[in-house]
Structure 1
Amino acid sequence: MSLYRFAKWVVKIILMPLYRVQVIGTENIPKEGPVIICSNHISNFDPPMVGITSPRDISFMAKEELFSKKWSAKLFHKLNAFPIKRGMKDRDALRNALNILSEGRTLGLFPEGTRSKTGEVGKGLSGIGFFALRSQATVIPCAIIGEYKIGKKLKIVYGKPIDLQEMRQNKAKASEVTDTIMENIKELKKNNE
């Protein structure tokens, strides 16, 4: 068993009952082919929570600081994470993400780039639209609804694939695609609160 699978199993045993997690819509995630799961971001627990509730293994971008020590870099790589430099174009991170998708795997992204302090869905970074346009991956919106409070209910909702065919054909801007993805996440959150 890989470290990723073992960690997923352990974290699932701990977090699912602790936060009374309800998972909706996993059937919307294709079993094969490249997939981008785009979620709102409210806590540091979001990546493991999306990771344990998705039926597919997910590779996440993570802030570069988490890879600063040799042991932590090794650990995060084994957990399918790869570093991204904040606030600048990071060609290595872009290449890594596109490689993951070209291999038919799943990429997990938090389009807002940082946690929301209010719990509301914020504006997304245009890089997300870039991945969606360049990869032809299926984009699945995900809404994390509730708070990470012990004993309180937390919902993880996976929506239907976002139809980006027309935007791809019309060579839409990456920022326009990102806006469409964010609207889908907002709608998903609103309809399941």
Structure 2
Amino acid sequence: MYKFSGYTIKAFFALRGGVKVYQKENLPTDRGFVIACTHEGFVDVLALGTGILPLEIHYMAKKELFSNKLIGGFLKRIHAFPVDRENPGPSSIKTPIKLLKEGKIVGIFPSGTRTSEDVPLKRGAVTIAQMGKAPIVPAAYRGPSNGKSLFKKGKMQLIIGEPIMLEEFDHLPAKERLGAMTEVLNQRIKDLENQLTEKE
């Protein structure tokens, strides 16, 4: 179901020029990882998913989306799993950690909300990566963000950054690693956004 949906959406995007993907070679191919991408609307979720095919992403999605049985059933078939954003607890990270340890890819939009504002990245992505003993791959998308803008002109661009490895922070005291990794992730994503601006 995932690949069928992914390639169908990719074919639709191709009608308007497709998604130009830069630095796809940065994606690890031998282990699970967290991919953390910018988020302004639902289109960037689709662009990220189609952009790294045939790799498959398991997305964290707010639990409210699963309240409708039809929509919830579809989301589960395309590897999305529910998270309670209002009351996050141990159960919120249990599923993604398990997926990472199974060698799968977990997709997280660290800003937590659909916004174009410069919101400091949340520590959730880093916490999950640390507990799942997996690298974090920063990514940035630029292009249409909603259904209406899809039917207007405009490039769709996705850029993949180099993985942030946990080992890079082994020299720091344990209590400082989370903050340091979050700062690095935040900066790497900003740098990727700047690179996309330069490519326009």
Q: TM-score, normalised by structure 1?
A: 0.90
SS, match of residue 42 in structure 2? coil
Following superposition, the deviation at residue 161 of structure 1 comes to 1.2
Compared with structure 1, are the counterparts of its residues 162 and 121 closer, same or farther at alpha carbon in structure 2 (3 Å cutoff)?
A: farther
Structure 2 equivalent of residue 62 of structure 1: 61
Following superposition, the deviation at residue 160 of structure 1 comes to 1.2
Equivalent of residue 140 in structure 2, options 127, 140, 143: 143
Tell me the matched-pair count: 189
Following superposition, the deviation at residue 19 of structure 1 comes to 5.9
SS, match of residue 158 in structure 2? strand
Q: TM-score, normalised by structure 2?
A: 0.87
User: Could you list the runs of 5+ residues in structure 1 that have no partner in the other structure?
Assistant: none
Following superposition, the deviation at residue 153 of structure 1 comes to 0.7
List structure 1 runs of 4+ shifted beyond 6 angstroms. none
- 1:182 partnered with 2:194: no
Find the aligned partners of 1:121 and 1:53 in 2 and give their Cα distance. Answer: 24
Structure 1 equivalent of residue 79 of structure 2: 80
Structure 2 equivalent of residue 125 of structure 1: 122
Find the aligned partners of 1:122 and 1:19 in 2 and give their Cα distance. Answer: 30
- Name the aligned partner's letter for residue 58 of structure 1: I
Following superposition, the deviation at residue 169 of structure 1 comes to 4.6
Compared with structure 1, are the counterparts of its residues 175 and 88 closer, same or farther at alpha carbon in structure 2 (3 Å cutoff)?
A: farther
Structure 1 equivalent of residue 9 of structure 2: 11
Following superposition, the deviation at residue 26 of structure 1 comes to 1.0
Find the aligned partners of 2:165 and 2:31 in 1 and give their Cα distance. Answer: 16
Find the aligned partners of 1:123 and 1:138 in 2 and give their Cα distance. Answer: 20
Q: Root-mean-square deviation (CA), in Å?
A: 1.7
Structure 1 equivalent of residue 88 of structure 2: 89
Compared with structure 1, are the counterparts of its residues 45 and 146 closer, same or farther at alpha carbon in structure 2 (3 Å cutoff)?
A: closer
Percent of aligned positions with the same letter in both sequences? 27
